[in-house]
Amino acid sequence: MTSNGREDAKRAVDSLQACGLTSIVNRGSQDESQHQTFVVHTFGFGTNHDPVAMHAIFDESGGTFSFIESYEMVQDAFASCLGRYGSEISDQGCQAVINVGDFYAVEEKEFLINLSVPVLRVAVDEENDRKTSLLDILCSYRDVVSKERVRVERNRLSAAEGIAEAQRIAETDARDLLTRRRTGIRASISAQAGDCLSIWLESELKETERRMGSRQLHSRAGRAYVLSGMSSHAYQRATARGSVVPGAEAQRDTSSASAVPTNLSAPDANNASFSAYTTPNMAHMVNKSMQLNQSRAPAPATAPALGPDSHSDSNST
Protein backbone atom coordinates (compact mmCIF):
# COMPACT_ATOMS: atom_id res chain seq x y z
CA MET A 1 0.00 0.00 0.00
CA THR A 2 1.33 3.44 -0.93
CA SER A 3 1.57 6.32 1.52
CA ASN A 4 -1.50 7.95 -0.05
CA GLY A 5 -3.40 4.67 0.29
CA ARG A 6 -2.49 4.41 3.97
CA GLU A 7 -3.72 7.96 4.55
CA ASP A 8 -7.01 7.21 2.78
CA ALA A 9 -7.48 4.06 4.86
CA LYS A 10 -6.75 5.96 8.08
CA ARG A 11 -9.27 8.67 7.21
CA ALA A 12 -11.88 6.01 6.39
CA VAL A 13 -11.39 4.32 9.75
CA ASP A 14 -11.47 7.62 11.65
CA SER A 15 -14.72 8.57 9.95
CA LEU A 16 -16.54 5.50 11.34
CA GLN A 17 -19.20 6.44 13.91
CA ALA A 18 -21.48 4.34 16.12
CA CYS A 19 -25.22 4.89 15.76
CA GLY A 20 -25.90 3.73 19.33
CA LEU A 21 -24.15 2.46 22.42
CA THR A 22 -20.87 0.62 22.02
CA SER A 23 -19.06 -2.07 23.98
CA ILE A 24 -15.82 -0.09 23.90
CA VAL A 25 -14.66 0.93 27.37
CA ASN A 26 -11.61 2.62 28.72
CA ARG A 27 -9.26 -0.11 29.92
CA GLY A 28 -8.19 2.15 32.75
CA SER A 29 -11.69 2.37 34.17
CA GLN A 30 -13.45 -0.35 36.11
CA ASP A 31 -15.16 -2.90 33.91
CA GLU A 32 -18.55 -3.52 35.48
CA SER A 33 -19.99 -5.46 32.56
CA GLN A 34 -21.77 -8.71 33.39
CA HIS A 35 -21.54 -11.80 31.23
CA GLN A 36 -24.77 -13.76 31.36
CA THR A 37 -24.50 -17.52 30.88
CA PHE A 38 -27.31 -19.52 29.35
CA VAL A 39 -27.91 -23.21 29.91
CA VAL A 40 -27.20 -25.16 26.71
CA HIS A 41 -28.53 -28.68 26.09
CA THR A 42 -26.54 -30.41 23.35
CA PHE A 43 -27.66 -33.29 21.11
CA GLY A 44 -25.45 -35.65 19.14
CA PHE A 45 -27.15 -37.43 16.23
CA GLY A 46 -25.87 -40.76 14.96
CA THR A 47 -22.13 -41.05 14.44
CA ASN A 48 -21.57 -37.79 12.54
CA HIS A 49 -20.84 -35.48 15.48
CA ASP A 50 -18.09 -34.66 17.95
CA PRO A 51 -19.20 -36.00 21.36
CA VAL A 52 -16.19 -34.46 23.11
CA ALA A 53 -17.15 -30.98 21.87
CA MET A 54 -20.82 -31.55 22.78
CA HIS A 55 -19.76 -32.66 26.26
CA ALA A 56 -17.53 -29.61 26.73
CA ILE A 57 -20.35 -27.22 25.72
CA PHE A 58 -22.86 -28.72 28.14
CA ASP A 59 -20.29 -28.87 30.93
CA GLU A 60 -19.48 -25.18 30.56
CA SER A 61 -23.12 -24.06 30.58
CA GLY A 62 -24.62 -26.52 33.08
CA GLY A 63 -26.95 -28.23 30.59
CA THR A 64 -27.02 -31.83 29.40
CA PHE A 65 -25.64 -33.91 26.52
CA SER A 66 -27.96 -36.42 24.85
CA PHE A 67 -26.73 -39.03 22.38
CA ILE A 68 -29.38 -40.06 19.82
CA GLU A 69 -28.61 -43.06 17.64
CA SER A 70 -31.78 -43.11 15.54
CA TYR A 71 -33.38 -40.13 13.82
CA GLU A 72 -36.81 -41.62 14.58
CA MET A 73 -36.37 -40.73 18.26
CA VAL A 74 -35.36 -37.09 17.72
CA GLN A 75 -38.82 -35.70 18.51
CA ASP A 76 -39.18 -37.79 21.68
CA ALA A 77 -35.69 -36.75 22.83
CA PHE A 78 -36.53 -33.06 22.39
CA ALA A 79 -39.86 -33.59 24.19
CA SER A 80 -38.06 -35.23 27.09
CA CYS A 81 -35.60 -32.34 27.31
CA LEU A 82 -38.33 -29.69 27.18
CA GLY A 83 -40.33 -31.59 29.79
CA ARG A 84 -37.79 -30.71 32.47
CA TYR A 85 -39.01 -27.09 32.30
CA GLY A 86 -42.38 -26.81 34.01
CA SER A 87 -44.95 -24.35 32.67
CA GLU A 88 -45.35 -22.47 35.91
CA ILE A 89 -45.48 -18.76 36.68
CA SER A 90 -44.18 -17.71 40.08
CA ASP A 91 -43.99 -14.25 41.63
CA GLN A 92 -41.16 -13.65 44.07
CA GLY A 93 -40.97 -17.37 44.72
CA CYS A 94 -38.27 -18.56 47.11
CA GLN A 95 -37.45 -21.65 49.09
CA ALA A 96 -35.88 -22.46 52.42
CA VAL A 97 -34.60 -25.66 53.99
CA ILE A 98 -34.93 -26.59 57.66
CA ASN A 99 -32.51 -29.32 58.73
CA VAL A 100 -34.12 -30.94 61.77
CA GLY A 101 -31.58 -33.65 62.51
CA ASP A 102 -32.32 -36.96 64.22
CA PHE A 103 -35.62 -37.40 66.09
CA TYR A 104 -36.24 -39.45 69.20
CA ALA A 105 -39.11 -41.94 69.09
CA VAL A 106 -42.55 -40.20 68.95
CA GLU A 107 -40.80 -36.83 69.27
CA GLU A 108 -42.52 -33.75 67.84
CA LYS A 109 -41.09 -30.37 66.88
CA GLU A 110 -42.82 -27.18 65.81
CA PHE A 111 -41.57 -24.41 63.54
CA LEU A 112 -42.90 -20.89 63.07
CA ILE A 113 -42.70 -19.41 59.57
CA ASN A 114 -43.48 -15.75 58.97
CA LEU A 115 -44.90 -14.93 55.54
CA SER A 116 -45.36 -11.50 54.03
CA VAL A 117 -48.49 -11.80 51.89
CA PRO A 118 -49.37 -8.89 49.59
CA VAL A 119 -52.96 -7.74 49.17
CA LEU A 120 -54.80 -9.55 46.38
CA ARG A 121 -56.57 -7.01 44.18
CA VAL A 122 -59.56 -8.34 42.23
CA ALA A 123 -62.21 -6.70 40.12
CA VAL A 124 -65.61 -5.99 41.64
CA ASP A 125 -67.38 -8.49 39.38
CA GLU A 126 -64.92 -11.28 40.19
CA GLU A 127 -65.31 -13.83 42.94
CA ASN A 128 -63.96 -12.74 46.31
CA ASP A 129 -63.75 -16.21 47.84
CA ARG A 130 -60.90 -17.44 45.67
CA LYS A 131 -58.07 -19.32 47.36
CA THR A 132 -54.38 -18.64 46.81
CA SER A 133 -51.67 -21.18 47.50
CA LEU A 134 -49.12 -19.53 49.77
CA LEU A 135 -46.80 -22.29 50.90
CA ASP A 136 -45.78 -25.76 49.74
CA ILE A 137 -44.11 -28.02 52.30
CA LEU A 138 -42.06 -31.10 51.44
CA CYS A 139 -40.43 -33.48 53.88
CA SER A 140 -37.62 -35.94 53.25
CA TYR A 141 -35.86 -38.22 55.69
CA ARG A 142 -33.53 -41.19 55.89
CA ASP A 143 -33.68 -44.21 58.15
CA VAL A 144 -30.89 -43.71 60.69
CA VAL A 145 -30.92 -47.43 61.51
CA SER A 146 -30.68 -49.07 58.08
CA LYS A 147 -29.16 -46.08 56.24
CA GLU A 148 -30.60 -47.61 53.06
CA ARG A 149 -30.47 -44.31 51.16
CA VAL A 150 -26.76 -44.01 51.93
CA ARG A 151 -26.10 -47.42 50.38
CA VAL A 152 -28.05 -46.49 47.28
CA GLU A 153 -26.12 -43.24 46.88
CA ARG A 154 -22.86 -45.15 47.23
CA ASN A 155 -23.96 -47.37 44.35
CA ARG A 156 -24.79 -44.31 42.25
CA LEU A 157 -21.42 -42.71 42.92
CA SER A 158 -19.65 -45.99 42.22
CA ALA A 159 -21.35 -46.28 38.84
CA ALA A 160 -20.67 -42.64 37.94
CA GLU A 161 -17.01 -42.88 38.92
CA GLY A 162 -16.67 -46.17 37.04
CA ILE A 163 -18.08 -44.70 33.82
CA ALA A 164 -15.82 -41.65 34.03
CA GLU A 165 -12.76 -43.79 34.76
CA ALA A 166 -13.62 -46.17 31.91
CA GLN A 167 -13.78 -43.25 29.48
CA ARG A 168 -10.39 -42.05 30.66
CA ILE A 169 -8.60 -45.36 30.18
CA ALA A 170 -10.79 -46.20 27.14
CA GLU A 171 -9.54 -49.34 25.42
CA THR A 172 -7.02 -50.69 27.93
CA ASP A 173 -8.72 -51.93 31.09
CA ALA A 174 -12.10 -50.22 30.72
CA ARG A 175 -14.18 -53.39 30.44
CA ASP A 176 -12.48 -55.01 33.44
CA LEU A 177 -13.11 -51.88 35.50
CA LEU A 178 -16.78 -51.76 34.53
CA THR A 179 -17.17 -55.46 35.30
CA ARG A 180 -15.77 -54.97 38.78
CA ARG A 181 -18.03 -51.98 39.44
CA ARG A 182 -21.06 -53.86 38.12
CA THR A 183 -20.30 -56.89 40.25
CA GLY A 184 -19.96 -54.70 43.34
CA ILE A 185 -23.32 -53.01 42.75
CA ARG A 186 -25.07 -56.31 42.00
CA ALA A 187 -23.76 -57.77 45.26
CA SER A 188 -24.75 -54.74 47.35
CA ILE A 189 -27.52 -54.95 49.94
CA SER A 190 -29.61 -52.39 48.03
CA ALA A 191 -29.53 -54.34 44.78
CA GLN A 192 -30.25 -57.61 46.57
CA ALA A 193 -33.28 -55.92 48.16
CA GLY A 194 -34.60 -54.93 44.72
CA ASP A 195 -33.76 -51.21 44.79
CA CYS A 196 -34.68 -49.79 41.37
CA LEU A 197 -31.79 -47.36 41.09
CA SER A 198 -29.19 -49.99 41.94
CA ILE A 199 -30.63 -52.42 39.39
CA TRP A 200 -30.74 -49.66 36.77
CA LEU A 201 -27.11 -48.72 37.49
CA GLU A 202 -26.01 -52.33 37.08
CA SER A 203 -27.73 -52.60 33.69
CA GLU A 204 -26.28 -49.25 32.61
CA LEU A 205 -22.75 -50.40 33.40
CA LYS A 206 -23.42 -53.59 31.43
CA GLU A 207 -24.51 -51.58 28.37
CA THR A 208 -21.49 -49.28 28.74
CA GLU A 209 -19.23 -52.33 28.90
CA ARG A 210 -20.81 -53.71 25.72
CA ARG A 211 -20.26 -50.45 23.83
CA MET A 212 -16.58 -50.59 24.77
CA GLY A 213 -16.17 -54.09 23.38
CA SER A 214 -13.86 -52.97 20.59
CA ARG A 215 -12.03 -49.88 19.44
CA GLN A 216 -14.34 -49.53 16.44
CA LEU A 217 -17.50 -49.87 18.52
CA HIS A 218 -16.21 -47.40 21.11
CA SER A 219 -15.38 -44.86 18.40
CA ARG A 220 -18.73 -45.28 16.64
CA ALA A 221 -21.17 -45.31 19.56
CA GLY A 222 -19.39 -45.98 22.84
CA ARG A 223 -17.71 -42.63 23.42
CA ALA A 224 -20.90 -40.61 22.89
CA TYR A 225 -22.88 -43.01 25.09
CA VAL A 226 -20.33 -42.76 27.89
CA LEU A 227 -20.09 -38.96 27.74
CA SER A 228 -23.87 -38.67 27.79
CA GLY A 229 -23.93 -40.93 30.84
CA MET A 230 -21.32 -38.77 32.54
CA SER A 231 -23.53 -35.75 31.78
CA SER A 232 -26.52 -37.45 33.38
CA HIS A 233 -24.72 -38.48 36.56
CA ALA A 234 -22.80 -35.22 36.97
CA TYR A 235 -25.99 -33.16 37.34
CA GLN A 236 -28.41 -36.01 38.20
CA ARG A 237 -30.50 -35.17 35.14
CA ALA A 238 -31.98 -37.59 32.64
CA THR A 239 -30.49 -37.64 29.13
CA ALA A 240 -31.35 -39.54 25.96
CA ARG A 241 -28.77 -42.23 25.35
CA GLY A 242 -28.53 -44.54 22.39
CA SER A 243 -32.05 -45.77 21.68
CA VAL A 244 -33.51 -44.87 25.10
CA VAL A 245 -35.45 -41.64 25.73
CA PRO A 246 -36.18 -40.73 29.38
CA GLY A 247 -39.89 -41.09 30.00
CA ALA A 248 -40.53 -43.31 26.98
CA GLU A 249 -40.01 -46.49 28.98
CA ALA A 250 -43.00 -45.72 31.18
CA GLN A 251 -45.22 -45.13 28.13
CA ARG A 252 -44.39 -48.49 26.58
CA ASP A 253 -45.29 -50.34 29.77
CA THR A 254 -48.67 -48.68 30.40
CA SER A 255 -51.90 -50.05 29.00
CA SER A 256 -53.29 -46.57 28.34
CA ALA A 257 -51.51 -43.69 26.65
CA SER A 258 -52.76 -41.36 29.36
CA ALA A 259 -51.64 -43.59 32.23
CA VAL A 260 -48.44 -41.74 32.96
CA PRO A 261 -46.74 -42.50 36.29
CA THR A 262 -46.77 -39.56 38.66
CA ASN A 263 -43.81 -40.61 40.80
CA LEU A 264 -41.03 -41.79 38.52
CA SER A 265 -38.35 -40.82 41.01
CA ALA A 266 -39.41 -43.61 43.37
CA PRO A 267 -40.96 -46.38 41.26
CA ASP A 268 -41.99 -49.83 42.36
CA ALA A 269 -39.16 -52.32 42.67
CA ASN A 270 -40.72 -54.53 40.00
CA ASN A 271 -41.11 -51.67 37.52
CA ALA A 272 -38.67 -52.48 34.73
CA SER A 273 -39.42 -49.17 33.05
CA PHE A 274 -37.49 -47.22 35.69
CA SER A 275 -35.17 -44.54 34.32
CA ALA A 276 -33.09 -42.51 36.76
CA TYR A 277 -33.63 -38.75 37.08
CA THR A 278 -36.80 -38.78 34.94
CA THR A 279 -39.45 -36.31 36.10
CA PRO A 280 -43.25 -36.62 35.66
CA ASN A 281 -43.24 -33.56 33.37
CA MET A 282 -40.71 -35.25 31.10
CA ALA A 283 -42.87 -38.37 30.95
CA HIS A 284 -45.95 -36.30 30.06
CA MET A 285 -44.11 -34.48 27.26
CA VAL A 286 -42.82 -37.75 25.81
CA ASN A 287 -46.35 -39.15 26.05
CA LYS A 288 -47.65 -36.23 23.96
CA SER A 289 -44.85 -36.72 21.43
CA MET A 290 -45.60 -40.44 21.08
CA GLN A 291 -49.31 -39.76 20.66
CA LEU A 292 -48.51 -37.22 17.94
CA ASN A 293 -46.31 -39.74 16.14
CA GLN A 294 -49.07 -42.35 16.33
CA SER A 295 -51.60 -39.93 14.84
CA ARG A 296 -49.26 -39.26 11.91
CA ALA A 297 -48.64 -42.93 11.19
CA PRO A 298 -50.46 -44.17 8.04
CA ALA A 299 -53.36 -46.53 8.59
CA PRO A 300 -52.65 -50.19 7.73
CA ALA A 301 -53.89 -51.30 4.33
CA THR A 302 -56.97 -53.56 4.34
CA ALA A 303 -58.01 -56.11 1.71
CA PRO A 304 -61.06 -55.09 -0.38
CA ALA A 305 -64.29 -56.79 0.62
CA LEU A 306 -65.83 -59.23 -1.88
CA GLY A 307 -69.22 -58.31 -3.28
CA PRO A 308 -72.17 -60.74 -3.50
CA ASP A 309 -71.38 -61.52 -7.16
CA SER A 310 -67.63 -61.75 -6.67
CA HIS A 311 -65.67 -64.96 -6.36
CA SER A 312 -62.07 -65.87 -5.78
CA ASP A 313 -59.75 -67.22 -8.46
CA SER A 314 -59.58 -70.61 -6.76
CA ASN A 315 -63.30 -71.15 -7.41
CA SER A 316 -63.32 -69.88 -11.00
CA THR A 317 -63.63 -72.27 -13.90
pLDDT tens by residue, 65-107: 888 888 788 888 888 888 877 655 455 567 778 877 777 666 6
pLDDT tens by residue, 184-237: 999 988 888 888 888 888 988 888 888 888 888 888 878 888 888 888 888 888
pTM: 0.56
CA 102 to each of CA 98, 123, 207: distance values in angstroms, whole numbers, following the listed order: 13, 49, 39
CA distance 53 to 44: 10
| Least confident span in 45-49, 125-129, 295-299 | 125-129
- Considering only residues 232 and 129, tell me which one the structure prediction assigns the higher pLDDT: 232
Share of the chain above pLDDT 90, in %: 0
Please state the φ and ψ torsions of residue 42, each to the nearest 5 degrees. -100, 150
Share of the chain above pLDDT 70, in %: 66
CA 3 to each of CA 9, 14, 137: distance values in angstroms, whole numbers, following the listed order: 10, 17, 76
SS (H, E, C) the chain: CCHHHHHHHHHHHHCCCCCCCCCCCCCCCCCCCCCCCCCCCEEEECCCCCHHHHHHHHHHHCCCEEEECCHHHHHHHHHHHHCCCCCCCCCCCCCCCCCCCCCCCCCCCCCCCCCCCCCCCCCCCCCCCCCCCCCCCCCCCCCCCCCHHHHHHHHHHHHHHHHHHHHHHCCCCHHHHHHHHHHHHHCCHHHHCCCHHHHHHHHHHHHHHHHCCCHHHHHHHHHHHHHHHHHHHHHCCCCCEECECCCHHHHHCCCCCCCCCCCCCCCCCCCCCCCCCCCHHHHHHHHHHHHHHHHHCCCCCCCCCCCCCCCCHHHCC
